[in-house]
Structure 1
């Protein structure tokens, strides 16, 4: 078999799954319920964030919180302060791709 198959959880429970973490990309699946999210941090690569369901509430650097919904894809530059949350009743599900993989990022 040439291809390699990966799976992610189909769940409504909180999860942060590092599906692919190789020298090319980081591919991460996240599910958050209301008032859940990530600790504030700085992006360690270029980040591409796809909203699969729910509403993403995100504050980048010092700007106000912006909201994005199912079907939206965000591109977030390297070294951007990020505050990622679900402030809504509906479950938030995201796919996050970091490219290049942070281990290869040329600073």
Structure 2
């Protein structure tokens, strides 16, 4: 078999799954219920964030929180302060790709 196969969760429970973490890319699957999210942090690579379902509430650097619906892809530069939350009722599901893979 040439391909490698990975699985992600399909439920509504909180999840931060580091699906692929190799020298090329980090591929992360996240699920957050209302009021859940990530601790505030700085991006350690270029981040490509896809909103799969729900509504993403995100504050970047000193900007106010912006909201993005399903089907939106954000490109966030390295060293950007990020505050990722689900402030809405529907479950938020994200796919996050970090490229190039962080070295930190």
Q: TM-score, structure 1 length as denominator?
A: 0.96
In the TM superposition, what are the counterparts of 1:1-107 in structure 2 within 5 Å?
1-103=1-103
1-structure distance, mates of 2:41, 2:11: 25
Aligned length: 104
- Structure 2 portions without partners, runs of 5+: none
Give me the whole-angstrom Cα distance separating, in 2, the residues matched to 1:25 and 1:17: 14
Superposition deviation, residue 56 in structure 1: 0.1
Output one character per residue of 1:5-33: Cα deviation in whole Å (capped at 9) or x when no partner.
11100010000000000000000000000
Structure 1 gaps of 5+ residues are none
Say what the alpha-carbon RMSD is for the aligned residues. Answer: 0.8
Per-residue CA distance 1:23-44 (angstroms, 9 max, x = gap): 0000000000000000000000
Q: d(CA) in 2 for partners of 1:78 and 1:89?
A: 30
Structure 2 length as normaliser, TM-score?
0.99
